[in-house]
Structure 1
Amino acid sequence: MKFERSEENIGNRVFKGALFVAGGRFVLRLFSLVNLVVLGRLLAPEDYGVASLAIVVIGFMQVLSDMRVNSALIAMREIDERHIDTGFTINMLRGLLIAALLFIFAGPIADYMNEPKLEDVLRVISVVLIFDGARNPAFTMYQRNIDFSKEFRRRVAATILGSIAAIVFAVLTKSYWAIVAGTLFGRFTEAAFSYWKIPYKPRISFREWKVFVSFGGWLTLSGILSYFTQTIPQLLIGKYLGASPLGYFTIGRDVAQVATRELTGPLVVAITPGLSAIAHNTQRLRTAYRKAQAVILGIAMPIGVGTALMAKELIAVLVGAKWLPATDVIVWLGPTLAFTMIASATDGLAMAKMATRAMFNRALFVAVVSTPVFGLAIWQGDMITVVYALVFRMFLQTAVNMYFAKTLIGDSFFSPFTSSWRSLIAAAAMAAIVSAVPASFTPSDPEYVVLLEMMPRVLLGAAVYVLAHFVLWRLAGRPDGFETKMLEVSGIALGKLRRFRRTAN
């Protein structure tokens, strides 16, 4: 396998990689959307609540012991087979250990969360930790070299099989075991495909363990704190308010990020190895980071704002009117998630600069400030106050990320705004005009009627956003940014379409 990487044509390679990741995310989201539609109608809010708690616990166990092997393999300047072997050994032992611990302590965890059903779910789903630990780290070499084609195939296969398993079990059991089955099948497929047609098979070795400990130690601590602040809303809602409110929160959060994270996520993933490849060139790194953030926010803002504007319609179409109590969650989280994309590539920037201790300090600050806010929110005994606290935490995280980026590359704190202000104004214009158009939503209407009624507002919003964006761009003197990248992509797509037509004729 190729362990070295090229610094040539980073921008185009990152964008090509992002397209592959986007393709995988599109398929993933398509089947996740099918899952959402089917499971939302077959399962009760309590089922979603139980499954959500189990996944949160699994995630925390993983973060608690994660040495960030894959991140290290991508970020390090030089690696060889010894690093692959050591990374595999660390991950495998970690997976076995935390799976055993989760199996043993499933009962006490369920008791603490006041949810008896959680015990059996945790013991079954602990197998996921073994699957994850057995993955082949050599697969990461493709991502290190900004080649995401094989990751695309792996994610597609895992998503399809996991979705099929979830739907089949939902029809058979009509319980939370459907979500458990989908998770198990999907993660097993991801592990299996990390070996399929991969030329290097890792062996047991501890030769480079010091490298991973020195790189991953601070990242592990940072990951624990970050995961805690991200999942504390679910933990508090599940423990103090019950499984049903947690089910509404989970559905609302999933709908709020159904498009934003899946369309911008590919760029965030693809840019990390790209930034690592040019980390030694600060000026080039600064320019690449600015442009990446402008493109990410330009895509995210209309989606997040549009999701909030169409919250009731989206719930009715996707999961049914019984989930309408989740509307406020979507209204608050949709635009907030989109805005946080203004500093979404900061982790990739930190990895590129190997600033792992600074990442821990950042996570510690956010956790210390936001945890008391969540405590006050749950004291009010209302799900929506926890959502408000989550919005506060997300804005706090964004401000901290912007300051973090400033210190890493010597840029201005307001640099993300100077690169992306047109996206913010265009999204505000879109929200103002679409809000002024009356919505004829009726919960009892069939889904296809709701969909047809919302489409004119969706098209209007898209047209206003695009028009406002390009008017502002021309007034600003056509600077290099989101608009130039979109024109470049459009030109490439049209060129390929013309060639296809000529070939077909």
Structure 2
Amino acid sequence: MENIGRRVGIGIIWMVGARLFDRSIGIVSTVILARLLMPADFGLVAMATAIGAILDLLGAFSFDLALIQNKNAERKHYDTVWTFNVMFGVFCGLCLIVLAHPAAGFYKEARLENVMYVLSLSYFLNAFTNVGLVAFRKDLNFDKEFHFIFWRRLVTFIITIGAALLFRSYWALLMGMTVGRLVSLIMSYKMNDYRPRFSLAASRELFGFSKWLLINNILFFILHRGCTFIIGRLYGTSTLGIYAISREISSLPSTELVAPINRVMFPGFSKMRDVAQISQAYLKLFGLITLTILPIGIGIAAVAAPLVETMLGAKWMAAIPVIQLLAIHGAIGATQGNNGVVWLSLGHPRMTTSVAAIFLVVLFSSLYFFMNAYGVVGVGLAYILGHVVTVPYSTMVSKRLLKFSWPSFFGTLWRPVLAVVAMYAAVHYIDAQLISQPPLLRLIIDSLAGATVYAAVVLLAWRAAGSPDGAEEFVLARVLNGWTTLRRRFT
């Protein structure tokens, strides 16, 4: 158990580091592209990728998770997964070609046809990616996955920005996506010596676990991408572009920080055999995510106005209220992601299906009302309402499976929540006093004030509670150790 815990801890460092690098490059890329391109360029590509994402559902069995969860996976399992990936990838690429003209007519956007033709190439490339890469996660060798992500992102960034400077159009985004898939294909065979063969020998075993993952992926696609189709159809490419960028910025906590942690924790949980050990690890992870990731998401909502003015410019001002609501949605979602990881590792994929289905019903039953009343901003309100309904249910499911106590759960939650509320209120008040100042100055002061208020309230609440063991103690010890190490090096 100690060895698994140590390797999981190291894996989290590698994967968070990889995501931080990946997202740092992504943020720089988004800022540059937002200055060089128009909202309609992003909206046009979002239309095409949304159609591609629907086709992805045909092969969305998450066979890689089945390989990781199966402790006795053999060559036949890997070869079968690769064969399915090739079949589905080629089929989706061909479908994009066939659907290009009808899709352009549906959206009343003639440029979409050629965009989908180019996008199909990335599907053909991705279909043949080496399935041996799954072994990096299964064996907890996340340093290798770090190098894979690093070089893929760096090359993609250089190509995308160079193309944007040259063409000043949506073709830059497509070129970056295509080159990224090509780099991934080449690196997958250079970094892993596994050579897959065509085979369907293990199809029955794989589908036994993955059929639920297919349903989950379909539901999650509708949850995350369904609004894209509605917005594109009702409001056009410019509004869709604003929504797409807003979603990308606001989802930073869940996609760039929590996602890599959960990517590591799934194989880690799968290797643990005792429910009590998993429960202990779950609560520690929940506490750490709530303490460190929740304030980042709420912080993005708090500084959305100066952030947009500074990073994106005046043509993106309509994104401010969308970012604020979606950032709150992303922050709440970040604290819930580890529920699904635990359920899958324990062999209960149906639980994630039930939660996604409930969220879906709430989202789309309220979407019509909110969008009629508030336009695209109403999407954020609908997402938040979905969390209001599903978070209590998800928590009760995890409690039943892991058998932790309510005091231990709420003991990890109340201090960060109290501090986040205080932080948001403080930033809102301070920014109102600085409204006449330059956006960059407002962003810096707001961010520093928010971080100071959050840290102070968390520490005071932790002390008032008697300094219990938990995430605060863990983070404080790491900060003090880091500070001591730096002092020794420079004295």
Shift in Å, 1:415 = 6.1
What's the counterpart of residue 44 of structure 2? Answer: 50
Report the alpha carbon displacement of residue 291 of structure 1 after superposing the two structures with TM.
0.9
Residue equivalent to 2:415: 422
5 Å-filtered alignment, 1:379-394, equals: 379-380=372-373, 382-394=375-387
Which structure 1 residue ranges, 4+ long, deviate > 6 Å from structure 2? Answer: none
**147-156 or 351-360: bigger deviation:** 351-360
1:439–1:158 CA distance, 2 compared to 1 (3 A): farther
CA distance in 2, matches of 1:119, 1:306: 39
Per-residue CA shift, 1:182-204, capped at 9, x if unaligned?
11112222222222231322222
Show CA shifts across 1:332-386 (max 9, x none).
1222311222221112112101112333333233323322222333445721222
Map 1:93-492 to 2 at 5 A: 93-259=87-253, 261-278=255-272, 280-380=273-373, 382-411=375-404, 416-437=409-430, 438-441=432-435, 449-492=438-481
Is contact 2:78–2:196 with CA below 8 Å preserved after alignment?
Answer: yes
SS in 1 for 2:191: coil
Q: What residue is the counterpart of 1:69 in the other structure?
A: 63
Measured in 1, the distance between the counterparts of 2:389 and 2:156 equals 35
Q: Tell me the distance in 2 between the aligned counterparts of 1:358 and 1:70.
A: 19
Shift of residue 91 of structure 1? 1.1
Equivalent residue of 1:196, what SS?
helix
Q: Is the 8 A contact 1:260 1:303 kept in 2?
A: no
Return 373-382 or 30-39, whichever deviates more.
Answer: 373-382
2:54 to 60, 63, 71: 60
Count, aligned residues: 490
Task: Percent identity, please.
Answer: 28
Question: Is the 2:252–2:297 Cα contact (8 Å) retained in structure 1?
Answer: no
C-alpha separation between the residues in 2 aligned to 1:323 and 1:131? 34
Q: Distance in 2 between matches of 1:369 and 1:331?
A: 20
C-alpha contact 2:359 2:387 (8 A) present in aligned 1? no
Measure the CA separation in 2 of the matches of 1:51 and 1:407: 43
Distance 1:401 1:421 in 2: 18
RMSD of the alignment, in Å?
2.3
The residue type paired with residue 149 of structure 1 is D
> Given residue 410 of structure 2, which amino acid in structure 1 is its aligned partner?
F
Cα displacement (A) at 1:260: 5.4
Structure 1 residue 241, shift from structure 2 partner: 1.3
> How far off is 1:498 after superposition?
6.1
SS in 2 for 1:130: helix
**Structure 2: how far apart are the matches of 1:396 and 1:60?**
26
Contact 1:402/1:413 (<8 A) preserved: no
1:281-317 residue CA offsets vs partner (Å, 9 max, x unmatched)? 1111111111111111111222122211211111122
**Which SS does the other structure have where 1:39 is aligned?**
helix
Structure 2 match to 1:84:
78
Note if contact 1:300-1:339 (Cα within 8 Å) is conserved in structure 2: no
TM-score with structure 2 setting the length: 0.93
Which amino acid is 1:189 matched to? V
How do residues 4-43 of structure 1 correspond to structure 2 at under 5 angstroms? 7-43=1-37
